[in-house]
C-alpha cells in the first residue's frame, strides 16, 4: 500500500514540476524552441531570453530585477547553477546597506551566454559577464569576468586554464557547423 501511495504522489509531483517549468518558459522575455527546465528552478522569467535547444538543470537560480539574462542556442546548464545580474550598493555613507534601494548604472548588468556553452554544476555567473561561444565553465566556478570563445574556465577566479581548440580547430569546427558563413 505504501508503495502505491508513494508512486502516485511521485507522479503527481512530477506532473506539477513539469507544468511549473513549462509555465516558466512561457513567461520568459522570449524563447526559442526546445527550451527544457528540469526539476524545480527559481527564475526571474521576464528578464530571461533563451535561444533554441537550451537545457537548464534542476535547482537553477536566475535572479535579475533590472538587467537581462541572454542565453544563446545549444546551451547546457547543469543543476544548481546560479546567474545573478545585480548587486547592492555599499558606498552610501550614513545608511545601513539594507536601507539603500537606489542603484547606479553599474549595479545591474546583463549576463550573456553565447551559443554552444556548457556550464557545469554549481557554477555561479555574476553581473556583467559574457561567456563566449563554445566555452566550458567548470563545476563550482565563480565567473566574475568575461570568458573568451572556446575557453575552458574553472576555479574561483574564473581562471582560463586552456583554450578548447587551436585557431585552426576553431575554424574547422565553425565551418562544419556552418557558423563561418554567417559571420557569427
Active-site positions read: 88
Q: Say whether 48 sits in a helix, a strand or coil.
A: strand
Instruction: Please classify residue 152 by burial: count the beta carbons closer than 10 Å to its beta carbon, then call 0-12 exposed, 13-18 middle and 19+ buried.
Output: middle
Q: Say whether 115 sits in a helix, a strand or coil.
A: coil
Decide: 138 and 120 in contact? Cβ < 8 Å: yes
| Angstrom distance (rounded) from CA 158 to CA 139 | 11
| Angstrom distance (rounded) from CA 63 to CA 36 | 18
Amino acid at each position: 500500500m505504501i508503495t502505491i501511495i508513494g508512486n502516485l504522489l511521485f507522479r503527481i509531483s512530477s506532473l506539477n514540476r513539469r507544468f511549473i517549468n513549462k509555465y516558466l518558459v512561457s513567461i520568459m522575455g522570449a524563447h526559442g524552441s526546445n527550451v527544457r527546465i528540469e526539476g524545480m528552478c527559481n527564475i526571474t522569467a521576464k528578464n530571461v531570453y533563451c535561444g533554441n535547444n537550451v537545457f537548464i538543470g534542476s535547482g537553477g537560480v536566475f535572479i535579475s530585477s533590472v538587467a537581462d539574462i541572454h542565453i544563446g542556442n545549444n546551451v547546457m546548464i547543469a543543476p544548481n547553477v546560479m546567474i545573478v545580474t545585480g548587486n547592492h550598493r555599499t558606498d552610501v555613507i550614513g545608511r545601513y546597506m539594507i536601507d539603500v534601494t537606489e542603484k547606479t548604472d553599474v549595479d545591474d548588468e546583463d549576463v550573456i551566454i553565447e551559443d554552444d556553452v556548457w556550464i557545469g554544476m554549481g557554477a555561479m555567473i555574476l553581473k556583467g559577464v559574457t561567456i563566449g561561444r563554445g566555452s566550458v565553465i567548470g563545476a563550482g566556478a565563480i565567473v566574475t569576468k568575461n570568458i573568451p570563445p572556446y575557453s575552458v574556465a574553472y576555479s574561483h577566479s574564473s581562471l582560463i586554464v586552456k583554450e578548447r581548440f587551436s585557431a585552426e580547430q576553431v575554424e574547422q569546427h565553425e565551418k562544419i557547423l556552418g557558423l563561418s558563413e554567417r559571420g557569427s
